[in-house]
Amino acid sequence: MILVNGKLTGQINVLDRGLHYGDGLFETIAYKNKHLLLWDEHWRRLAKSAKILNIDLPDKELIRQELDFVVKGQEDMVLKLLITRGVGGRGYKIPDKPNPNRIIISSDWPNHDSNLRQTGVIVRLCEMRLTRNPKLAGIKHLNRLENVIARSEWRDHSIFEGLMLDQDNYVIEGTMTNLFIIKDNEIFTSDLKYCGVEGVMREQLIKLASQLDISVKFINIKPSTLQDADEILLSNSIIGLWPVKQIQNHSYKRKPTVITEKLQHHIYTGIFY
Amino acid sequence: MILVNGKLTGQINVLDRGLHYGDGLFETIAYKNKHLLLWDEHWRRLAKSAKILNIDLPDKELIRQELDFVVKGQEDMVLKLLITRGVGGRGYKIPDKPNPNRIIISSDWPNHDSNLRQTGVIVRLCEMRLTRNPKLAGIKHLNRLENVIARSEWRDHSIFEGLMLDQDNYVIEGTMTNLFIIKDNEIFTSDLKYCGVEGVMREQLIKLASQLDISVKFINIKPSTLQDADEILLSNSIIGLWPVKQIQNHSYKRKPTVITEKLQHHIYTGIFY
């Protein structure tokens, strides 16, 4: 189902600046067992990003009602919410009174093998790099060509995700996931000051680790750091937290660390319904 | 007037990957005194970019017919041609058989003061940086948030353009123009290996200079290089080639160099009808 500004339609104005410039934001939200997961957290991230791009968000309650309408009668859905700057004239200049458009698209829940949370997934390193721009770092905006090109580098269905490096050869994240490393009872994740997306699930995991008194360090991750890890994990709002069993030719022992067991327990019994 | 895949409509499919990811390309083409300017050159650039993004272009002749349809009965128009990857499902993965969409939008010719080619324009330096990504450098793709943010930095109508630096503090181009410097009877322009757009008018000027035996050097331009210049010029398909009379607080003598006179003469009597 697709709603554009509350109306059932599959069309949007050709002059939308989301199309012309990627001038907008999006959120991918899990609806699981009839529950909208982490709505407040998604909204908070969206609001933070909208402030940076200077986009006026619609009313939170209005969006919530539209999300509820879209999922009515469903069990599990993936919801994508897009907010664009709205229609504009020729040129980059933002209209004096922009009128943002809101789009909600529901998709079926992906039929992932539920064992993957234990057995782990296969991952590759992408050639396409993430560019560094501190102003846009962390934001889930609509300029995603780098991710598109990175994802186009492989067709092998057994590979779940590709990790992306930045121009300085630091490993930042997956094309659609954030990256965590477990080593000697500590958690490490990439510093997202210069590029990458601050995932809502990533934020939850960082908060949770702090509540569990597990150290989380924000570092520059080199490819070699991945090989030295006890465990590598990927997170996003739909998968939760999945281990990696193989990166390129390097395999990881698939005995989960205590940290992973604790985090997964919280996600799959606490956050996920 | 707006044509989407040859049909008169103002709407496009919400699932278009141009909207979701900026997964597409565009050209801005001048139609002047009933002539489509530099069509072959625009097509060549589009084809080069499409090859990099692996997007199948529609037939050149078909697009040409649609452009001709849109401008019928008009004198001067600005034409924007967008080619997107087309509709996609959830996720960055390119569909197995993508079906690109083509969009043509016509706008009125801007009513610029025709004296500006002699008197020059006022320009500022933007805070927003262009990120370096050699894979995407030169391409006129739909990921243009950096330009949008740069253009949002000023509202003063007397300022025509903002110059953008890259992360290494080199001046690359304007938000919508390419940059040329004249110094001691040579032309200098920024090296676009890492970022920036290879403008069609820029290419024309480089070719023309070579025909006129004027040296063109591709360099890293520092802000201080701008101040030392005999003349600064901006180019794009709509304005042609305009001098800069002021950047920030630095003013330039407005006696055009012989090089500028030659280049402008060619553009406004040769390329422009």
**For chain A, percent of residues with pLDDT exceeding 90:** 97
- pLDDT, residue B34, reads 97
pLDDT class of A253 with cuts at 50, 70, 90: confident
Sheet of B77-84, strands arranged across: B7-8, B2-4, B101-108, B77-84, B24-32, B35-36
| Preferred mutation among A80, A92, A152, A176 to probe B, highest tally of B CBs within 10 A | A92
- Cα A255 to the chain's mean position, in Å? 26
The predicted model scores a pTM of 0.96
Residues from chain B that touch A133, judged by Cβ atoms under 8 A, are: 129, 131, 146, 167
Q: Which residues of chain B have pLDDT under 70?
A: none
Q: How far is A254 from chain B (nearest CA, A)?
A: 28
ipTM of the complex: 0.97
Q: What is the mean pLDDT of residues A27-49?
A: 98
Residues from chain A that touch B90, judged by Cβ atoms under 8 A, are: 78, 80, 105, 107
Contact B143 A147 (CB under 8 A): no
Contact A15 B105 (CB under 8 A): yes
Contact B107 A128 (CB under 8 A): no
Phi, psi of A13 (to 5 degrees): -55, 130
- pLDDT, residue B238, reads 97
A50 touches chain B (CB under 8 A): no
B19 touches chain A (CB under 8 A): yes
Contact B14 A22 (CB under 8 A): no
Residues from chain B that touch A82, judged by Cβ atoms under 8 A, are: 19-20
Residues from chain A that touch B107, judged by Cβ atoms under 8 A, are: 89-90
Can you list the domains of chain B with their CATH numbers? 2-108 (3.30.470.10), 116-271 (3.20.10.10)
* A35 pLDDT above the threshold of 90: yes
Mean confidence (pLDDT) of chain A = 96
Q: Which helix (H) or strand (E) holds A78?
A: strand A77-84
pLDDT digit string (tens) for A54-88?
A: 999 999 999 999 999 999 999 999 999 999 999 99
What does the alpha-carbon distance between residue A14 and residue B83 come to, in Å, rounded to a whole number? 12
Contact B131 A131 (CB under 8 A): yes
pLDDT digit string (tens) for A131-172?
A: 999 999 999 999 999 999 999 999 999 999 999 999 999 999
Residues of B that are catalytic: 28, 140, 173
- Cα A182 to the chain's mean position, in Å? 20
Pairing mode of beta strands B2-4, A250-251: unpaired
pLDDT digit string (tens) for A214-231?
A: 999 999 999 999 999 999
Sheet of A2-4, strands arranged across: A7-8, A2-4, A101-108, A77-84, A24-32, A35-36
Q: Which tokens belong to B249?
A: 């607080």
- pLDDT, residue A218, reads 98
* A254 pLDDT above the threshold of 90: no
pLDDT class of A19 with cuts at 50, 70, 90: very high
Q: Which tokens belong to A90?
A: 């020729």
Residues of A that are catalytic: 28, 140, 173
Q: What is the mean pLDDT of residues A185-204?
A: 97
A135 touches chain B (CB under 8 A): yes
Q: Which helix (H) or strand (E) holds B46?
A: helix B39-53
Classified as helix, coil or strand, A40 is helix
Q: What is the mean pLDDT of residues A12-36?
A: 98
| Closest alpha carbon to B174 in B202, B210, B206, B193 | B202
- pLDDT, residue B117, reads 95
* A114 pLDDT above the threshold of 90: no
Which chain B residue's Cα is nearest to A93?
B151
pLDDT class of A50 with cuts at 50, 70, 90: very high
Contact A143 B143 (CB under 8 A): yes
B216 touches chain A (CB under 8 A): no
* A202 pLDDT above the threshold of 90: yes
- pLDDT, residue B255, reads 87
Which of A9, A14, A93 lies at the smallest CB-CB distance from B4?
A14
Classified as helix, coil or strand, B59 is coil
Contact B152 A54 (CB under 8 A): yes
